[in-house]
Amino acid sequence: MNNQKYLIAANWKQNGDAKSLIRLINNFIRLYKKAKPTCDILILPPAIYLETILNRLKHHKVSRKKISLGAQNISPYQNGAYTGELSVDMTKDYNCNYTLVGHSERRHVFNEDEKIISKKVRLSIESGMQTILCVGETMAEYNSKSTKKVILRQLKSALVKSANLIKSDHNKIIIAYEPVWAIGTGKTASLDDIRDVHGYIHNSLSKILGTKTNSIKILYGGSVNNLNAASILVLSNVNGALVGGASLNSKKFIDICSSI
């Protein structure tokens, strides 16, 4: 069993509209107040609805220490002539204290390379945000037994330039392991695979930071749902979950949050 407080993050992705997301957050808060889960909870709504969700949390008098807000994506640049982008400083206007960087959809759909991801990580950390870095392998990489090689490359490329910032406070970075082939497919990595990869990530982070040990949280993502969450969250070096589709159902998501 892990000693750290768990973090359960809801990545709503590009889903919903104002009406449906207000209904979703209202229902979730109602269930949350009944269930009173002990984990930290993070909501990552579409950026255009950050203010809407923030206002709902305020309306229901939910402590921001209990349910936090974060941005699904940030620009690799500070404010300037970057049409269509969202700077990390802009997210602070909506009380965001988390950012999500390097999600597989950003890497594989929007072709973000490792240089861009590294810039986003450093900018986010320098701005005082808790930064969630996503790593994970494709099905082809999994089948060729390249999982650990791919993940080590992703960790090194994203974190080496920020290692000096992370060494002083391991809470500045969180890793989310999401096998690409398991995202939104209903497939989940085996418990043995999750335990093995999370252990490898934990040890790799210590080497990258040049420390004997580290307290960096590692989340699992990839078709996490209310049926499999409990068995995943008890594994060693699993400190929470990054939840996609199941987070769009308030009952399923509160069940995940309450499964710890």
Helices (H), the chain: 18-35, 50-59, 88-92, 104-108, 114-126, 139-143, 147-159, 163-167, 191-209, 229-233, 250-257
Q: Which domain holds residue 101?
A: 7-257
Please state the domain count of the chain: 1
Residue 2 in any domain: the answer is: no
Q: How many CB atoms lie within 10 A of CB 141?
A: 18
The amino acid occupying position 231 is S
pLDDT per residue, tens digit, the chain (260 aa), is: 345 799 999 999 999 999 999 999 999 999 999 999 999 999 999 999 999 999 999 999 998 889 999 999 999 999 999 999 999 999 999 999 999 999 999 999 999 999 999 999 999 999 999 999 999 999 999 999 999 999 999 999 999 999 999 999 999 999 999 999 888 788 878 999 999 999 999 999 999 999 999 999 999 998 899 999 999 999 999 999 999 999 999 999 999 999 99
CB 100 within 8 A of CB 132: yes
Residue 1 in any domain: the answer is: no
Return the CATH number at 114: 3.20.20.70
Looking at the whole model, is its pTM more than 0.75?
A: yes
Q: How many CB atoms lie within 10 A of CB 103?
A: 29
Residue 69 in any domain: the answer is: yes
Residue 231 in any domain: the answer is: yes
Residue 54 in any domain: the answer is: yes
Buried b (16+ CB within 10 A) or exposed e, 245-260: bbbbbbebbbbbbbbb
> Which residues have a catalytic role annotated?
103, 178
Residues 177, 238: Cα–Cα separation, whole Å: 10
Residues recorded for the chain: 260
Residue 86, CA atoms < 13 Å, CB-side half-sphere: 19
